[in-house]
Structure 1
Amino acid sequence: MSNRGQSNPIESPELLSHSTLPQDDSVPERSMVEEATVTGVIFTPELWMQRRCWALDVLRKEGVRSVLDIGCGPGSLLETLVIPPTTIKEEPILPKRSNPQHEQLPSSVDSDDEDFSNTARELFVKRLGGLDVSPSVISSALKIITPPSSTSNFPPNVPRWEPLNTELWLGGIEKYNARLEGFEAIVLLEVIEHLDPNVLSRFGVVTLGTYRPKVLLITTPNFDFNAKFPRAEEHDFAKKGFVDPTGRTDRVFRHSDHKLEMTNAEFREWAQAEAINWGYEVEISGVGVSSHPSYYPSDDPSLPGQPIYASQTAIFRIATGLPLRSPRSVRTVELPFMVGGGESAHPHKLAGRYVHPVSFPGNGTKSLPEEIRKTVKECFTRWDIEQVSLDELWGVADVAGKCAGSKRHLVGSLGGWGNCPGIEVNNGSELEFEVRKEKGRDLSVRWRTYVRRDKDEKEESWGESASKDISKDTSEAGGW
């Protein structure tokens, strides 16, 4: 639910009047680099998707529990982050490799050379926030962070094993907001190139210096990439692009609202300076190699060149050392959203704050392994199948509910696999089920004692079942 009360100014900031927001969802302008008819550059998958996948991959690996999306726009990243994980937060199921003498490689179908790190982990976000300066996108983003209702179909009605707190703010990145402290991760996808120079100068002191996230992710256009458009001269890109509106350079940008597009060297210098200033380490790379690859020459002639990416990426990770600069300048004056401040005067306005409640099958307790195996056997019998993927089996509400959201409990009840040991294995006797990994596929469950039913038996079973269902329906309805 949203907080509208004003009794406690710390807990209940002034809520933005939704009637003042534009209600029509405007279509965001498309960057010139993503128009293949102009540039001749093709991205597979599309460049925006590559950026989002990169951010999600980093957030998973960092194991963050709270994310703030600055410059969230209509909510494209929030739309992914608001989807609940499929399990409770627990250790991922991975191959057992800690002791080479006891690795689980029971058969030739099992693979010991596949990396599970990207596919086995999920995001377990319990706090999600968005901030954008444009009122035109707030209505769209607000719909995404709002809990589902009987009249909405997003977020999808799937099990949620722990509550999610969401919030959305209207305001600029350069303004400090004490309520935005405490997020473990901050993400800015294609944002800093839209900032005026004076606003960009406040980026470090507010985000890295004051909010102090565990990790901060940035993507921004790479100006070096513009020159490699195969059709740049043919289409006269200078006329189709946009001249630097700040007048600082004679560069032609990809988007009408860009204030800055940095070369790789400029971005690296800027990012490293911000990292040093505020006590962070930074990892710089990129996403988006075009269909006509070009490469930066290597400093070492014996090494291959580095690809020229369409979007540059930076991962700032907080370091143990103290920052060279002090962020105290942010708090040298009495600011709203602090004790004694007046929130109504602050340029940040709260558009909505909600709690997505838990909603899952079962009673939240783990059933005994034999009960789980009985439920699994019922599924296999009903499907008349020998093997299904672990994810398909987990998609059965009764199975997930009896495991209380723990996929490890399911795997353990079926004999275990990898770093997930089996539990209660009937005094050493062989179980009816086996969890296995085939090369090129995800984990699956096989019914060892499966015997296919013949066609006549299945038809008879179906007919009896259907007759019972019809009889039941008609008796309850009092006849036709």
Structure 2
Amino acid sequence: MKFLSSLHPLGGHLRAALQRNGDLYGFVPASIITVCDARISNLCKLLNPKVESNPYLAASIIMRAAAGLSGYVVASKGNLSIQKKNPYPPAIIKLSDIQQSVSQEDIVVKVIHIPPSLDKIIQPSSLDVPSSGYYLDIIAQKLGVRDANKVFMSRTVGKASSEVRLYFAAPESLLLDISSDLNVEEFHMEGSLNARASYFCGQAIYGDAIMASLGYTWRSGGLFHEDVSLQSYYRMLISKIPSGNYKLSREAILAAEMPLAFTSKNNWKGSFPKEILCALCRQHRLSEPVLAITIALEASCELSRSQKKLKVAGTDRFKTEYANGKDTAVDNGASVGSGSGFRCQVKILSKCQDLIIECFPKEVNKKQSDSIHNASLKVLSWLDAYFKDLDMPLEKLNYLANALDIQFHHDKFFKEFALCPSVYKYSGTPEAKLQESKHNNSFLFGQGVWSLSIEGSDSGLFPSTGCLVSVSYSVSLMTEDGHVKELLESNDEFEFEMGTGAVISSLESVVTQLSVGQSAFFKVELPPEEFIFAAADDFRTIRSMLSVQDCCLDYAVTLLAVTEPPEERMEQAFFSPPLSKQRVEYAVKHIREFCATTLVDFGCGSGSLLDSLLEYPTSLEKIVGVDISQKSLSRAAKILHSKLSTKIDAGIRSLVLYDGSITDFNSRLCGFDIGTCLEVIEHMEEDQASLFGNVALSYFRPKILIVSTPNYEYNTILQKSGLATQDDDPDERNQSQACKFRNHDHKFEWTRKQFDHWATELAKEHNYSVEFSGVGGAADVEPGFASQIAVFKRGFPLPENGLAEKEDSAQHCKLVWEWSTPEMPDMPASSL
């Protein structure tokens, strides 16, 4: 009686079984016992691990066990159900009647019928479940069998909290063989494998299947029920694809796309890569991904990296937590010094712990969380490429894997994903096959844009790579003659990062042509129908439109806002290593070439160059940085102090930061071996940049001065001006696509010709030679280098007393911070 009163799901089935009539009275299907009783289910798996994928085998074990308990239970002949041998006491019967009448009313629940043939369409249906009786008997009638004793129930599918299951019938031949004690593992199943149903639950299902959210649960004493619509079916289907999962997390099935790169947590919208990867493994019945973190240390003398396993002192917690796919062993936002970083190795294993996929990225990330998400994204991107081209040749799949630092075991991979091609190559509708050649079985769509029109005045604020963009949009299914139009999806405020592939390509291409406040209207070809049906509310109308005539997607987009990106992030999106690192390496090359021992950095900012220089073995002994921003200098002092405190063998004997303008003379900045001014002059007015050049070469007079500045001509590549249509006027197109400066704080950006003229005139006036080079791009390929560089070399020795007339009165720089080695008692170090 206590069991019948409980919320145990098996108790609900038993109460319902006591309401069955005639010879079905009291019989509980064996397949239900294995699903609802976790202890029995686990015992079956211990006896035979193949139970995990073979539900018929589990029922066979139950029936054989029941046959050995003939004194207690009765196993029905020719059926898969069990009944208590002795009658239940009247009190239990009465309690069952009362609870069943109180807890259940007549209900109508929407379900989905999944036929075994891929040529037949998925159909919505409904179940009329009376207050008395057993709901599984109603499902049995839908499946064309006499009663629930022949009905099997799958594990839950979809989200973890979902109660959606698949119901299917056991063939008559199987029932006879189980009764005759035939080994079910050797049984040859008659009928067609239901690939779509099997794909959802990871268990072999033959014949028709019903997808329903209906049954007894731990949450309710009565019969739980929810409608399952065709939209929810297709949403579950696309959620088993990496990009589909991301689209659903953004609630933008027809606009979003899983980004190609993880730039930062702030700019990543929707579920993070690690979360998507974990969900994908669960949905494909794989083990949780194994994430292992290593710290990569950059050797100070060789520029090579050694790896050290990251552990939690005194415990094995790190190893255990990461083996379970968790990242709580170390602070998820943990970061390291500029000379080291984190790498994350990802392993994907089957339920039997067979290694399927392994990814060990070469890249090093400053933050632990970034390394986890970047490694996860590599695996997701590779899997997504496979889903988008299920007929991809093995050679191409191997090539993509190598490019993403992935190794995979071919046989095990194709075994685990064997059903994918048969499920995704058809959307389950006859009309889909007519569209098959047009879509080429690809999940990419939106490549072609036509009927583009732009409305609204030009505000002058256009998006570029790295920007955070906010748009409103709506997407409708439209017949190509334009007579019928049905809304599929809309969003009043949708944000994404430009240049990362975070939206379908056609949408991003159009947005690049809009200024804030403008709207665009355009059409693109259809995606695979899974995505259309997953977005559609009115399934009947959409299916009717697709079956009657050719259709397209009609987009309306308004650009609401643009948040400009930091220049460094924009460059990182295009260059590897980042442009900032290439500039540092360029400076290091000249330091080594000329055996320089002293360096002054004009416009040092937050000390990024000085900090980076400490990671390279050079001959430098004295470094000075100067800037007009006290806030930036304060940050630089903290970073450099932390670095120098742990870098005993760096070779640096002193490092000083000054607060002052680089256009004002100061004798403490004179006579250095090398002066650097990297990406600084463009933050001044042009006349101030010329003044700096004159002061640096006439008074400071370093042996070598390295000046870099953005090449304005390269902005066309960085900002990707957008699509041009054949109807556009060339002059108007050129004007609308004029490049912006790379940073809102830039006062100017020079072309190569302008920079050449500026540097040549300076060198001629001050008796320096000048050579031109750059980083990012190439000198002999248009439009040249992304950062153009002038290297000034002094052509005369510095007079011993050439600065005497200015030295007494010219001390415009204020000492902010100073560091020196303990071996220099004549130059005491000051603390922060």
Q: TM-score, normalised by structure 1?
A: 0.46
Bigger radius of gyration:
2
Give the structure with the higher percent helix: 2
- Relative to its length, the structure with more strand (as a share) is 2
TM-score by length of 2: 0.27
Structure with higher RCO (Cα < 8 A, 6+ apart)? 1
